[in-house]
Structure 1
Protein backbone atom coordinates (compact mmCIF):
# COMPACT_ATOMS: atom_id res chain seq x y z
CA UNK A 1 0.00 0.00 0.00
CA UNK A 2 2.86 2.36 0.81
CA UNK A 3 4.30 1.74 -2.66
CA UNK A 4 0.98 2.68 -4.29
CA UNK A 5 0.77 5.87 -2.25
CA UNK A 6 4.37 6.74 -3.13
CA UNK A 7 3.61 6.15 -6.80
CA UNK A 8 0.57 8.42 -6.67
CA UNK A 9 2.58 11.14 -4.92
CA UNK A 10 5.32 10.77 -7.54
CA UNK A 11 2.78 11.13 -10.35
CA UNK A 12 1.36 14.32 -8.84
CA UNK A 13 4.87 15.66 -8.31
CA UNK A 14 5.84 14.96 -11.93
CA UNK A 15 2.77 16.80 -13.21
CA UNK A 16 2.98 19.77 -10.84
CA UNK A 17 6.71 20.31 -11.32
CA UNK A 18 6.28 20.36 -15.08
CA UNK A 19 8.56 17.41 -15.83
CA UNK A 20 9.23 18.05 -19.53
CA UNK A 21 10.08 14.43 -20.31
CA UNK A 22 6.79 13.23 -18.82
CA UNK A 23 4.83 15.76 -20.89
CA UNK A 24 6.73 14.69 -24.02
CA UNK A 25 6.09 11.00 -23.39
CA UNK A 26 2.42 11.57 -22.57
CA UNK A 27 1.86 13.75 -25.64
CA UNK A 28 3.52 11.19 -27.92
CA UNK A 29 1.41 8.43 -26.37
CA UNK A 30 -1.76 10.40 -27.04
CA UNK A 31 -0.70 11.32 -30.56
CA UNK A 32 0.18 7.82 -31.78
CA UNK A 33 -2.86 6.23 -30.12
CA UNK A 34 -5.35 8.76 -31.48
CA UNK A 35 -3.87 8.62 -34.98
CA UNK A 36 -3.93 4.81 -34.92
CA UNK A 37 -7.54 4.55 -33.75
CA UNK A 38 -8.63 7.26 -36.22
CA UNK A 39 -7.12 5.35 -39.15
CA UNK A 40 -8.51 2.05 -37.84
CA UNK A 41 -11.95 3.66 -37.64
CA UNK A 42 -11.76 5.18 -41.12
CA UNK A 43 -10.86 1.77 -42.56
CA UNK A 44 -12.64 -0.58 -40.18
CA UNK A 45 -16.01 1.16 -40.08
CA UNK A 46 -16.74 1.01 -43.85
CA UNK A 47 -15.25 -2.50 -44.07
CA UNK A 48 -17.34 -3.70 -41.14
CA UNK A 49 -20.50 -2.21 -42.65
CA UNK A 50 -19.72 -3.85 -46.00
CA UNK A 51 -19.17 -7.25 -44.40
CA UNK A 52 -22.24 -6.89 -42.21
CA UNK A 53 -24.73 -5.84 -44.87
CA UNK A 54 -23.59 -7.54 -48.06
CA UNK A 55 -22.76 -11.02 -49.28
CA UNK A 56 -19.99 -11.66 -51.80
CA UNK A 57 -17.49 -14.33 -52.78
CA UNK A 58 -14.63 -14.58 -50.29
CA UNK A 59 -16.58 -12.80 -47.53
CA UNK A 60 -16.35 -15.70 -45.08
CA UNK A 61 -12.61 -16.05 -45.65
CA UNK A 62 -12.10 -12.32 -45.07
CA UNK A 63 -14.20 -12.50 -41.89
CA UNK A 64 -12.13 -15.46 -40.73
CA UNK A 65 -8.87 -13.53 -41.04
CA UNK A 66 -10.38 -10.48 -39.35
CA UNK A 67 -11.61 -12.60 -36.43
CA UNK A 68 -8.20 -14.27 -36.18
CA UNK A 69 -6.77 -10.75 -35.93
CA UNK A 70 -8.80 -10.21 -32.76
CA UNK A 71 -6.38 -12.47 -30.93
CA UNK A 72 -3.24 -11.34 -32.73
CA UNK A 73 -0.42 -11.11 -30.16
CA UNK A 74 1.10 -7.59 -30.22
CA UNK A 75 4.62 -9.01 -30.46
CA UNK A 76 3.62 -10.83 -33.65
CA UNK A 77 2.24 -7.57 -35.06
CA UNK A 78 5.49 -5.88 -34.08
CA UNK A 79 7.53 -8.60 -35.74
CA UNK A 80 5.63 -8.30 -39.02
CA UNK A 81 5.93 -4.53 -39.09
CA UNK A 82 9.64 -4.82 -38.27
CA UNK A 83 10.18 -7.26 -41.14
CA UNK A 84 8.43 -4.91 -43.57
CA UNK A 85 10.33 -1.83 -42.38
CA UNK A 86 13.74 -3.47 -41.95
CA UNK A 87 16.46 -2.28 -44.32
CA UNK A 88 16.14 -5.42 -46.42
CA UNK A 89 12.32 -5.43 -46.20
CA UNK A 90 9.79 -4.25 -48.80
CA UNK A 91 9.48 -0.81 -47.14
CA UNK A 92 13.07 -0.55 -45.92
CA UNK A 93 13.86 2.39 -48.19
CA UNK A 94 11.34 4.54 -46.30
CA UNK A 95 13.49 4.39 -43.14
CA UNK A 96 10.44 4.34 -40.85
CA UNK A 97 11.62 1.71 -38.37
CA UNK A 98 12.16 3.04 -34.82
CA UNK A 99 9.87 5.99 -35.46
CA UNK A 100 6.43 7.07 -34.20
CA UNK A 101 5.05 6.11 -37.63
CA UNK A 102 6.14 2.52 -37.07
CA UNK A 103 4.35 2.49 -33.71
CA UNK A 104 1.18 3.79 -35.37
CA UNK A 105 1.41 1.04 -38.00
CA UNK A 106 1.74 -1.64 -35.34
CA UNK A 107 -1.18 -0.23 -33.35
CA UNK A 108 -3.36 -0.14 -36.46
CA UNK A 109 -2.57 -3.80 -37.05
CA UNK A 110 -3.86 -4.78 -33.59
CA UNK A 111 -6.85 -2.41 -33.44
CA UNK A 112 -8.24 -2.62 -36.98
CA UNK A 113 -9.63 -6.18 -36.57
CA UNK A 114 -11.43 -5.09 -33.37
CA UNK A 115 -13.16 -2.11 -34.97
CA UNK A 116 -14.01 -4.08 -38.13
CA UNK A 117 -15.29 -7.20 -36.38
CA UNK A 118 -17.46 -5.39 -33.81
CA UNK A 119 -18.91 -3.10 -36.49
CA UNK A 120 -19.66 -6.10 -38.70
CA UNK A 121 -21.38 -7.92 -35.82
CA UNK A 122 -23.54 -4.87 -35.15
CA UNK A 123 -24.72 -4.53 -38.75
CA UNK A 124 -25.31 -8.25 -39.09
CA UNK A 125 -27.98 -7.88 -36.40
CA UNK A 126 -29.96 -5.33 -38.40
CA UNK A 127 -33.55 -6.54 -38.68
CA UNK A 128 -34.56 -7.47 -42.22
CA UNK A 129 -38.05 -6.13 -41.57
CA UNK A 130 -36.59 -2.73 -40.75
CA UNK A 131 -34.67 -2.75 -44.04
CA UNK A 132 -37.87 -3.55 -45.93
CA UNK A 133 -39.68 -0.77 -44.11
CA UNK A 134 -36.96 1.75 -44.96
CA UNK A 135 -37.05 0.71 -48.64
CA UNK A 136 -40.84 0.93 -48.63
CA UNK A 137 -40.58 4.56 -47.51
CA UNK A 138 -38.57 5.28 -50.65
CA UNK A 139 -35.17 5.84 -49.03
CA UNK A 140 -32.14 5.78 -51.31
CA UNK A 141 -29.17 3.51 -50.59
CA UNK A 142 -27.27 6.43 -49.07
CA UNK A 143 -30.22 7.43 -46.89
CA UNK A 144 -30.64 3.81 -45.80
CA UNK A 145 -26.98 3.64 -44.82
CA UNK A 146 -27.23 6.86 -42.80
CA UNK A 147 -30.27 5.53 -40.95
CA UNK A 148 -28.54 2.24 -40.16
CA UNK A 149 -25.43 4.04 -38.91
CA UNK A 150 -27.59 6.16 -36.59
CA UNK A 151 -29.32 3.02 -35.34
CA UNK A 152 -25.97 1.32 -34.68
CA UNK A 153 -24.12 4.32 -33.25
CA UNK A 154 -23.94 2.81 -29.75
CA UNK A 155 -22.23 -0.32 -31.05
CA UNK A 156 -19.96 1.70 -33.35
CA UNK A 157 -18.71 3.87 -30.49
CA UNK A 158 -18.24 0.72 -28.38
CA UNK A 159 -16.06 -0.70 -31.17
CA UNK A 160 -13.98 2.49 -31.24
CA UNK A 161 -13.57 2.39 -27.45
CA UNK A 162 -12.49 -1.25 -27.61
CA UNK A 163 -9.94 -0.42 -30.30
CA UNK A 164 -8.64 2.54 -28.33
CA UNK A 165 -8.31 0.40 -25.23
CA UNK A 166 -6.15 -2.02 -27.21
CA UNK A 167 -3.76 0.63 -28.55
CA UNK A 168 -3.41 2.64 -25.33
CA UNK A 169 -2.38 -0.53 -23.47
CA UNK A 170 -0.09 -1.86 -26.19
CA UNK A 171 3.56 -2.34 -25.25
CA UNK A 172 5.13 -5.33 -27.03
CA UNK A 173 4.79 -4.13 -30.61
CA UNK A 174 5.58 -0.53 -29.65
CA UNK A 175 8.80 -1.64 -27.97
CA UNK A 176 9.79 -3.77 -30.95
CA UNK A 177 9.13 -1.29 -33.77
CA UNK A 178 9.80 1.91 -31.81
CA UNK A 179 12.85 0.92 -29.83
CA UNK A 180 11.81 3.06 -26.82
CA UNK A 181 14.17 5.85 -27.89
CA UNK A 182 14.20 8.78 -25.47
CA UNK A 183 12.65 11.92 -26.94
CA UNK A 184 11.61 10.12 -30.12
CA UNK A 185 9.63 6.88 -29.66
CA UNK A 186 9.31 6.52 -25.90
CA UNK A 187 5.67 6.24 -24.82
CA UNK A 188 4.07 5.60 -21.43
CA UNK A 189 3.73 1.82 -21.69
CA UNK A 190 7.29 1.22 -22.87
CA UNK A 191 8.62 3.63 -20.24
CA UNK A 192 6.79 1.73 -17.50
CA UNK A 193 8.39 -1.54 -18.60
CA UNK A 194 11.80 0.14 -18.70
CA UNK A 195 11.45 1.62 -15.21
CA UNK A 196 10.33 -1.72 -13.77
CA UNK A 197 13.38 -3.41 -15.31
CA UNK A 198 15.56 -0.76 -13.62
CA UNK A 199 13.85 -1.34 -10.27
CA UNK A 200 12.25 2.11 -10.15
CA UNK A 201 8.85 0.89 -9.02
CA UNK A 202 7.76 4.27 -7.67
CA UNK A 203 8.37 5.92 -11.05
CA UNK A 204 6.69 2.99 -12.86
CA UNK A 205 3.63 3.31 -10.63
CA UNK A 206 3.56 7.08 -11.17
CA UNK A 207 3.59 6.55 -14.92
CA UNK A 208 0.86 3.92 -14.62
CA UNK A 209 -1.36 6.43 -12.81
CA UNK A 210 -0.76 8.96 -15.58
CA UNK A 211 -1.55 6.33 -18.24
CA UNK A 212 -4.73 5.31 -16.43
CA UNK A 213 -5.78 8.96 -16.17
CA UNK A 214 -5.27 9.52 -19.90
CA UNK A 215 -7.20 6.33 -20.75
CA UNK A 216 -9.97 7.28 -18.33
CA UNK A 217 -10.39 10.78 -19.77
CA UNK A 218 -10.54 9.59 -23.40
CA UNK A 219 -12.87 6.70 -22.59
CA UNK A 220 -15.09 8.96 -20.47
CA UNK A 221 -15.36 11.42 -23.37
CA UNK A 222 -16.35 8.63 -25.79
CA UNK A 223 -18.80 7.17 -23.28
CA UNK A 224 -20.41 10.59 -22.78
CA UNK A 225 -20.71 10.98 -26.54
CA UNK A 226 -22.17 7.50 -26.81
CA UNK A 227 -24.80 7.96 -24.11
CA UNK A 228 -25.58 11.55 -25.11
CA UNK A 229 -26.34 10.50 -28.64
CA UNK A 230 -28.42 7.65 -27.35
CA UNK A 231 -30.67 10.05 -25.50
CA UNK A 232 -30.99 12.42 -28.46
Structure 2
Protein backbone atom coordinates (compact mmCIF):
# COMPACT_ATOMS: atom_id res chain seq x y z
CA UNK A 1 0.00 0.00 0.00
CA UNK A 2 1.16 3.51 -0.78
CA UNK A 3 1.31 6.38 1.70
CA UNK A 4 -2.09 7.79 0.76
CA UNK A 5 -3.80 4.44 1.24
CA UNK A 6 -2.17 4.01 4.64
CA UNK A 7 -3.47 7.45 5.62
CA UNK A 8 -6.97 6.47 4.53
CA UNK A 9 -6.79 3.28 6.61
CA UNK A 10 -5.42 5.10 9.66
CA UNK A 11 -8.08 7.81 9.33
CA UNK A 12 -10.82 5.20 9.10
CA UNK A 13 -9.56 3.45 12.22
CA UNK A 14 -9.38 6.75 14.11
CA UNK A 15 -12.84 7.92 13.04
CA UNK A 16 -14.62 4.62 13.60
CA UNK A 17 -12.79 3.90 16.84
CA UNK A 18 -13.61 7.36 18.17
CA UNK A 19 -17.24 6.98 17.12
CA UNK A 20 -17.50 3.63 18.89
CA UNK A 21 -15.98 5.00 22.11
CA UNK A 22 -18.25 8.05 21.96
CA UNK A 23 -21.35 5.93 21.41
CA UNK A 24 -20.39 3.62 24.28
CA UNK A 25 -20.45 6.56 26.71
CA UNK A 26 -24.24 6.67 26.52
CA UNK A 27 -25.09 3.27 25.02
CA UNK A 28 -23.73 1.13 27.90
CA UNK A 29 -25.45 3.20 30.65
CA UNK A 30 -28.66 3.11 28.59
CA UNK A 31 -28.38 -0.67 28.24
CA UNK A 32 -27.89 -1.03 31.98
CA UNK A 33 -30.86 1.23 32.70
CA UNK A 34 -33.07 -0.92 30.45
CA UNK A 35 -31.78 -4.10 32.09
CA UNK A 36 -32.27 -2.89 35.66
CA UNK A 37 -35.55 -1.00 35.28
CA UNK A 38 -38.48 -3.02 33.88
CA UNK A 39 -40.25 0.13 32.74
CA UNK A 40 -37.40 0.97 30.36
CA UNK A 41 -37.09 -2.54 28.93
CA UNK A 42 -39.64 -1.61 26.27
CA UNK A 43 -37.04 0.62 24.68
CA UNK A 44 -35.06 -2.46 23.66
CA UNK A 45 -37.46 -3.38 20.88
CA UNK A 46 -37.39 0.21 19.61
CA UNK A 47 -33.60 0.21 19.53
CA UNK A 48 -33.55 -3.11 17.71
CA UNK A 49 -35.85 -1.61 15.08
CA UNK A 50 -33.60 1.45 14.74
CA UNK A 51 -30.59 -0.76 13.98
CA UNK A 52 -31.87 -1.06 10.43
CA UNK A 53 -32.21 2.68 9.80
CA UNK A 54 -30.54 3.50 6.45
CA UNK A 55 -27.25 5.33 6.87
CA UNK A 56 -28.22 7.87 4.22
CA UNK A 57 -31.17 8.91 6.39
CA UNK A 58 -28.90 9.47 9.38
CA UNK A 59 -26.53 11.36 7.11
CA UNK A 60 -29.33 13.54 5.76
CA UNK A 61 -30.59 14.48 9.22
CA UNK A 62 -27.09 15.34 10.39
CA UNK A 63 -26.43 17.33 7.23
CA UNK A 64 -29.53 19.40 7.92
CA UNK A 65 -28.35 20.01 11.49
CA UNK A 66 -24.74 20.83 10.62
CA UNK A 67 -25.21 22.79 7.38
CA UNK A 68 -24.79 26.56 7.42
CA UNK A 69 -28.56 26.99 7.62
CA UNK A 70 -29.00 24.35 10.31
CA UNK A 71 -29.22 24.94 14.06
CA UNK A 72 -25.64 23.69 14.57
CA UNK A 73 -24.14 25.29 11.49
CA UNK A 74 -22.22 27.86 13.53
CA UNK A 75 -20.03 25.06 14.92
CA UNK A 76 -18.42 24.54 11.53
CA UNK A 77 -18.43 20.77 11.80
CA UNK A 78 -19.76 19.90 8.35
CA UNK A 79 -17.22 18.20 6.07
CA UNK A 80 -14.84 17.45 8.92
CA UNK A 81 -13.76 14.17 10.54
CA UNK A 82 -15.63 15.27 13.67
CA UNK A 83 -18.90 15.30 11.75
CA UNK A 84 -18.30 11.72 10.61
CA UNK A 85 -17.46 10.66 14.17
CA UNK A 86 -20.71 12.17 15.47
CA UNK A 87 -22.71 10.63 12.63
CA UNK A 88 -21.24 7.17 13.10
CA UNK A 89 -21.72 7.39 16.87
CA UNK A 90 -25.41 8.13 16.35
CA UNK A 91 -25.65 5.36 13.78
CA UNK A 92 -24.17 2.60 15.97
CA UNK A 93 -25.90 3.61 19.22
CA UNK A 94 -28.98 1.37 18.71
CA UNK A 95 -26.77 -1.58 17.81
CA UNK A 96 -24.42 -1.25 20.79
CA UNK A 97 -27.21 -0.55 23.26
CA UNK A 98 -29.47 -3.39 22.11
CA UNK A 99 -26.70 -6.02 22.08
CA UNK A 100 -25.27 -4.85 25.42
CA UNK A 101 -28.77 -4.91 26.90
CA UNK A 102 -29.14 -8.63 26.20
CA UNK A 103 -25.90 -9.38 28.03
CA UNK A 104 -26.58 -6.99 30.91
CA UNK A 105 -30.13 -8.25 31.44
CA UNK A 106 -28.81 -11.68 32.42
CA UNK A 107 -25.98 -10.22 34.51
CA UNK A 108 -28.34 -7.90 36.40
CA UNK A 109 -30.72 -10.75 37.19
CA UNK A 110 -27.95 -13.06 38.38
CA UNK A 111 -25.46 -10.74 40.02
CA UNK A 112 -26.75 -7.16 40.18
CA UNK A 113 -29.82 -7.95 42.23
CA UNK A 114 -27.78 -10.23 44.48
CA UNK A 115 -25.27 -7.43 45.07
CA UNK A 116 -28.07 -5.03 46.01
CA UNK A 117 -29.58 -7.54 48.41
CA UNK A 118 -26.20 -7.83 50.13
CA UNK A 119 -26.06 -4.10 50.71
CA UNK A 120 -24.18 -2.87 47.64
CA UNK A 121 -24.88 0.58 46.27
CA UNK A 122 -26.43 1.10 42.85
CA UNK A 123 -23.02 2.02 41.44
CA UNK A 124 -21.43 -1.11 42.90
CA UNK A 125 -24.24 -3.29 41.56
CA UNK A 126 -23.80 -1.71 38.13
CA UNK A 127 -20.04 -2.32 38.21
CA UNK A 128 -20.65 -5.95 39.14
CA UNK A 129 -23.16 -6.47 36.33
CA UNK A 130 -20.94 -4.75 33.76
CA UNK A 131 -17.96 -6.87 34.81
CA UNK A 132 -19.93 -10.10 34.54
CA UNK A 133 -21.38 -9.06 31.16
CA UNK A 134 -18.05 -7.82 29.81
CA UNK A 135 -17.93 -10.46 27.08
CA UNK A 136 -21.28 -9.38 25.67
CA UNK A 137 -20.40 -5.69 26.04
CA UNK A 138 -17.13 -6.17 24.16
CA UNK A 139 -19.06 -7.99 21.44
CA UNK A 140 -21.48 -5.07 21.17
CA UNK A 141 -18.59 -2.62 20.79
CA UNK A 142 -16.96 -4.74 18.10
CA UNK A 143 -20.26 -4.96 16.21
CA UNK A 144 -20.62 -1.19 16.49
CA UNK A 145 -17.06 -0.62 15.25
CA UNK A 146 -17.60 -3.04 12.36
CA UNK A 147 -20.68 -1.19 11.20
CA UNK A 148 -19.04 2.20 11.65
CA UNK A 149 -15.91 1.44 9.66
CA UNK A 150 -17.87 -0.09 6.80
CA UNK A 151 -20.63 2.51 6.50
CA UNK A 152 -20.80 4.88 3.53
CA UNK A 153 -23.83 7.16 3.67
CA UNK A 154 -22.89 9.23 6.72
CA UNK A 155 -19.24 9.56 5.69
CA UNK A 156 -20.20 10.85 2.25
CA UNK A 157 -22.95 13.23 3.30
CA UNK A 158 -21.31 14.95 6.27
CA UNK A 159 -17.66 14.22 5.46
CA UNK A 160 -17.59 15.05 1.77
CA UNK A 161 -14.90 12.49 0.86
CA UNK A 162 -12.19 15.17 0.88
CA UNK A 163 -8.79 13.81 -0.11
CA UNK A 164 -6.32 13.84 2.74
CA UNK A 165 -8.93 15.02 5.24
CA UNK A 166 -12.22 13.11 5.40
CA UNK A 167 -11.70 10.26 2.95
CA UNK A 168 -12.25 6.85 4.55
CA UNK A 169 -11.96 3.30 3.30
CA UNK A 170 -15.63 3.08 2.33
CA UNK A 171 -15.71 6.43 0.52
CA UNK A 172 -12.41 5.65 -1.21
CA UNK A 173 -13.89 2.36 -2.46
CA UNK A 174 -16.96 4.19 -3.77
CA UNK A 175 -14.74 6.71 -5.55
CA UNK A 176 -12.56 4.01 -7.10
CA UNK A 177 -15.61 2.14 -8.39
CA UNK A 178 -17.07 5.32 -9.90
CA UNK A 179 -13.76 5.91 -11.70
CA UNK A 180 -13.55 2.32 -12.91
CA UNK A 181 -10.50 1.53 -10.78
CA UNK A 182 -11.80 -1.83 -9.63
CA UNK A 183 -8.41 -3.26 -8.68
CA UNK A 184 -7.79 -0.47 -6.17
CA UNK A 185 -11.33 -0.86 -4.85
CA UNK A 186 -10.82 -4.59 -4.33
CA UNK A 187 -7.55 -3.99 -2.51
CA UNK A 188 -9.21 -1.56 -0.13
CA UNK A 189 -12.08 -4.01 0.29
CA UNK A 190 -9.61 -6.71 1.28
CA UNK A 191 -8.04 -4.35 3.82
CA UNK A 192 -11.48 -3.59 5.25
CA UNK A 193 -12.32 -7.28 5.62
CA UNK A 194 -8.95 -7.92 7.26
CA UNK A 195 -9.59 -5.15 9.78
CA UNK A 196 -13.00 -6.57 10.63
CA UNK A 197 -11.55 -10.05 11.14
CA UNK A 198 -8.74 -8.65 13.29
CA UNK A 199 -11.24 -6.74 15.44
CA UNK A 200 -13.33 -9.87 15.91
CA UNK A 201 -10.31 -11.95 16.92
CA UNK A 202 -9.13 -9.25 19.32
CA UNK A 203 -12.58 -9.09 20.90
CA UNK A 204 -12.69 -12.85 21.42
CA UNK A 205 -9.26 -12.83 23.02
CA UNK A 206 -10.24 -9.95 25.29
CA UNK A 207 -13.47 -11.66 26.30
CA UNK A 208 -11.61 -14.93 26.95
CA UNK A 209 -9.04 -13.15 29.08
CA UNK A 210 -11.80 -11.44 31.06
CA UNK A 211 -13.52 -14.78 31.61
CA UNK A 212 -10.29 -16.30 32.93
CA UNK A 213 -9.91 -13.44 35.39
> What is the TM-score with the length of structure 1 in the denominator?
0.84
Structure 1: unaligned runs, 5 residues or longer: 1-13
Q: Is the 8 A contact 2:111 2:128 kept in 1?
A: no
Mark the CA change 1:198 to 1:128 in structure 2 (over 3 Å): closer, same or farther.
closer
Match 1:82 to one of 49, 58, 63: 63
- Offset of 1:26 from its aligned partner? 1.0
Q: Which moved more, 1:196-205 or 1:119-128?
A: 119-128
CA distance in 2, matches of 1:60, 1:151: 20
Look up the match of 1:221. Answer: 202
Match 2:133 to one of 152, 155, 165: 152
Look up the match of 2:121. Answer: 140
Equivalence map 1:6-85=2 (5 Å): 14=1, 19-56=2-39, 59=40, 62-85=43-66
Q: What is the aligned residue count?
A: 213
The two structures, once aligned, show a CA RMSD in angstroms of 1.9
Runs of 4+ in 1 over 6 A off after TM superposition: none
- Offset of 1:217 from its aligned partner? 2.4
Structure 2: unaligned runs, 5 residues or longer: none
Is 2:187 aligned against 1:206? yes
Mark the CA change 1:133 to 1:184 in structure 2 (over 3 Å): closer, same or farther.
closer
Higher relative contact order (CA 8 A, sep 6+): 1
Is 2:114 aligned against 1:118? no
Q: Which moved more, 1:191-200 or 1:204-213?
A: 204-213
- Offset of 1:190 from its aligned partner? 0.6
Mark the CA change 1:132 to 1:173 in structure 2 (over 3 Å): closer, same or farther.
closer
- Offset of 1:197 from its aligned partner? 1.2
Q: Deviations over 1:61-93 (max 9, x none)?
A: 644542332111111110111010111101111
Q: Deviations over 1:78-122 (max 9, x none)?
A: 011101011110111112111111111110111111111112222
> What is the TM-score with the length of structure 2 in the denominator?
0.91
Q: Which moved more, 1:149-158 or 1:206-215?
A: 206-215
Q: Is the 8 A contact 2:22 2:89 kept in 1?
A: yes
Look up the match of 1:10. Answer: none
Q: Which moved more, 1:160-169 or 1:144-153?
A: 144-153
Mark the CA change 1:149 to 1:129 in structure 2 (over 3 Å): closer, same or farther.
closer
